[in-house]
Structure 1
């Protein structure tokens, strides 16, 4: 029996379709006979029906739309306020507290929001020291929001923190690194550096080296030691060193620029030695930018500083503050020349002959810094108060070598000649105009005269004690001068017998070590691999030419044997040092 329909008791579907509803619950008769997508709902049910919810939502949105269209005649539904207004006012009215020697420096972890993160890039009211290091292999997802969204990375970036090894391990790394430090561009005073590194202060303390420099030295010490137990640690040590070096310039260390420059130089030599050539070029470029940006090429210059182009700092260029003592000034001087030598090595070794140039040879570039000194024999009075510099490199290339050359200065000048000869080789072309040919001949003759005069001033390698640590610098200096002669004359060796003999003599000098035992030399500057390879190529070229003349030249066999002996000497040197240097192995 169908119950009579009561007014107002129809379901929502029947009311919408305007049909009779028997009011049966939970499903009325019409909805049972003709099932629909919408459920059978009643307005007086225990909960709000879906239709009622949709109606309420439409009413609310219509009211909000009316409010937005007439803001002046409506009252906002929600009043917003800034909960950090008071905190912002306090931060603007107070300057940050100065760092004291007793309190350790707080370094922020590498933030995924910005590679150059500062306090202003953090959320309002959040202090840097509350940040915690990210867990290794943390996935950082990019944001596709508005342009104001923070920059994020789409790859995992493990952050290894600023932790350093124990004192015993760090001391062991220093013992492994220091004997080879100068061969890898270390220009700081070694006793002072070692003493400050081992101080019992936390990493980043102003009396110790920067975290990046400590990390890089620890990396190189581990690399030189090559123990089986540490072979797997070199990659994470490299990651830690690169991260710390990247953050050092944003800290408050008093020597952050010089120490960061030193760290980049060491990393460049490390990458060059391990065969990571693109990374090496990147580090060299950064080191050159830091040296020039800090004005290290204008130390004790006799020329007045020109006003800055933009005049941001009282119409004066940005310069480092005055050195605190003579030792710091000597480190700055040596730091610039170390960067210059490294830059010349990289450009000659990795660039094509026509591209052997760079920022340090740009038009208008003028270097006034005095020549470097030997830090091993540093004394407080080694830098006279009246010492001044003016066009140091240009004067040397114009035939004014100067007096009192230190071992470091000799190596620097040899590198300049090596680079200059390689640069001239790249400028020569068989299709040169007579005018360009005359200019090239004059420049090449001038450089050749400088090379011969410089070689005449060098003491022979046999004059030095084979156990003297400076012997590696002397060997490098001689090799650079001989390689400069080869670079300058090799392109004319086929046409001119004199040029061929100059190349052969220079190549023989590079592989003739006298009584030196290369196995006792320790680690050599990575550029020595390129220099020995240059000598070996000269022998290969001449051996091939000699074999073609065997039928017409009776002495060809004896000459070939002598060339093969010299060639084997070069290969022996390369093979010896290639055991732990992928660059020489290549």
Structure 2
């Protein structure tokens, strides 16, 4: 048994014996009082408890006080370093992660970096010193210039000789706000001759004149930055110029940034021009095979057109004007068009969006998912049929009013309005028929209930009669010069009409000889191109690939059927394997002729080649 140790025993006195100097706890050392050094809690701390625990500097780990002291020392050292940068070596060395991009910018073609001299003023309106944009003036927006701004004479942008020179932040990705003046002219020359194939609905002549005005980027008298950037992007893509194509991605990034920020500004045409920019971007992404972006920009264009009330232009019905914003709690609506040409652009803009929506829906969605957002219940389209661009300045007659335009067309209501026979209107009608046929094809199932079957049969017969009536109203392709832009549009209209027949009858072509014959006749019409040489057409709307693919599938299916039946039909006659193979090769050759210009068409060609290899 161990005897209890008393406070006055030698052992206790030994345990309480003060430690050597310098072994005091941190509290006693801070208060400068005598410490007995007893662990774990010294005498003074035991008699007068403190908020801080009794700690010793020689403990197994760093004490909290020691950590705080080290933090203070480190912060003091850093503060001295920042206050005297020349006397110390930085503890953290920074580097520029974008230095390769800065070096690449130095290699840009001169036409992209230094604007050419312009006759209107000593400083080109497209100089990178022009930092005006359509963004609101109270925000710290930065321009996208990549180089230090310089005048044509080589002076620094920081010179005090001009009060308009302002510093800006460089961007290694986007280059200057605009290319040089001569480059802009070249890009317009590349794009405008083919612009209608990619959804351009503005008056090209007015657009070109406004673009080349000697005014800054974003000036209200010029098109919006988003629209200009989208047109420049298309011009670069169509240019086949290697120096420009190297920077196509930068042009695309600039267009995407401006189309997102332009609506924040106060440009007078921001709604119409943003809509046009979205359409151009949707066609661009469809053209290069980036389908998700194509669908996104199409959806934005549809929302913008409906939100701005473009589906109610010249409506015969009373409706509340669309609200596009608020100012001091006051609703803001789109201002009335300034002239006939602007109203025509708005009308054509809506129908262009409608056609784009139908093309993308059919080309990129499964047959059972083809939707009709623009004809959804509650969305009534009253806007009259559009005019062709040369007739914009004349405008619609003052008495023209629209009422259920699409619905009346599908019901085959007679419309004698002259604008209903314009090439643009015929294009819209053909797109509607194509889309409606695809919808019906996706709704068909062989196990329909009796009521569903009768409803489907009635809709089938109605749209079939409408297609036949519409086809007879179309001008023949042989009437137009192959070099005329309207010829490409008319070829597309004929192809859409034939594709509508194929979509409508394809589900029944295996069992019904009449439906099979309808499909074969439509496919032959589409692939013969009205006797025109497809090689001379140049650029065409990307949807043409989807139409030709439908025709090629008809020939592939029929070749497979003929082979499986071992038919005695002469191979060289119409309907024989040789004739079908010749038509199929014509269709594949047409796709191949355009595939170098479009990743989307190349993708469609690949699908046909795979299907052909499987038979």
User: Which of the five TM-score ranges fits, normalised by the shorter chain?
Assistant: 0.7 to 0.9
Q: What count of residue pairs does the alignment treat as equivalent?
A: 469
- Kept after mapping to 2: 8 A contact 1:407/1:474: yes
- Measured in 2, the distance between the counterparts of 1:226 and 1:162 equals 21
Q: So what's the TM-score if we normalise by structure 1?
A: 0.74
- CA distance in 2 between counterparts of 1:162 and 1:305 reads 45
Shift in alpha-carbon separation, 1:481–1:307, aligned structure 2, 3 A: closer
Match of 1:570 in 2: 587
Note if contact 1:294-1:320 (Cα within 8 Å) is conserved in structure 2: yes
Are residues 1:520 and 2:531 paired?
Answer: no
Say which of 398, 403, 421 aligns to 1:390.
403
Q: Give the alignment's Cα RMSD to 1 decimal.
A: 3.2
**Aligned partners of 1:199, 1:134: CA distance in 2, in Å?**
20
**Residue 580 (structure 1) aligned with residue 593 (structure 2):** no
Moved more, 519-528 or 400-409: 400-409
1:31-66: per-residue Cα shift (whole Å, max 9, x none)? xxxxx8459xxxxxxxxxx99x98xx9xxxxxxxxx
- Deviation (angstroms), 1:580: 1.5
Partner of 2:297: 283
Q: Is the 8 A contact 1:483 1:506 kept in 2?
A: yes
Tell me if 1:351 matches 2:365. Answer: yes
Structure 1 distance, partners of 2:23, 2:144, is 58
Alignment pair present for 1:362 and 2:415: no
Q: Is the 8 A contact 1:493 1:499 kept in 2?
A: yes
Q: 2:249 aligns with which of 235, 240, 245?
A: 235
Matches within 5 A, 1:54-453: 106-107=132-133, 128-129=139-140, 160=174, 163-306=177-320, 319-380=333-394, 382-403=395-416, 404=418, 405-453=421-469
Unaligned runs of 5+ in 1: 1-9, 20-35, 40-49, 58-102, 110-117, 120-126, 137-156
Q: Say yes or no: does 1:504 pair with 2:517.
A: no
The verdict on how the C-alpha distance between 1:398 and 1:250 changes in structure 2, with shifts beyond 3 A counting, is same
State whether residues 526 and 583 of structure 1, in contact with CA within 8 Å, keep that contact through their aligned partners in structure 2. yes
TM-superposed deviation, 1:386? 1.0
* 160-169 or 469-478, which deviates more: 160-169
CA distance in 2, matches of 1:258, 1:379: 17
Q: 1:528 to 1:309 in 2, by over 3 A?
A: closer
Q: Given that residues 108 and 131 in structure 1 are in contact (C-alpha distance below 8 angstroms), is that contact kept between their aligned partners in structure 2? A: no
Q: Is the 8 A contact 1:108 1:128 kept in 2?
A: no
Return 368-377 or 495-504, whichever deviates more: 368-377
Q: Deviations over 1:132-153 (max 9, x none)?
A: 76989xxxxxxxxxxxxxxxxx
* Unaligned residue ranges in structure 2 (runs of 5+): 1-20, 26-32, 38-55, 60-64, 73-128, 148-170, 604-615
Q: Distance in 2 between matches of 1:306 and 1:493?
A: 48
The answer to whether the aligner puts 1:13 opposite 2:24 as a matched pair is: yes
- The answer as to 2:491 corresponding to 1:478 is no
Tell me how far apart the structure 1 counterparts of residues 532 and 410 of structure 2 sit (CA, whole Å): 32
Q: Deviations over 1:255-283 (max 9, x none)?
A: 01100000000000010010000000000
Supply the distance in 1 between the matched residues of 2:214 and 2:572 (Cα, whole angstroms).
Answer: 67
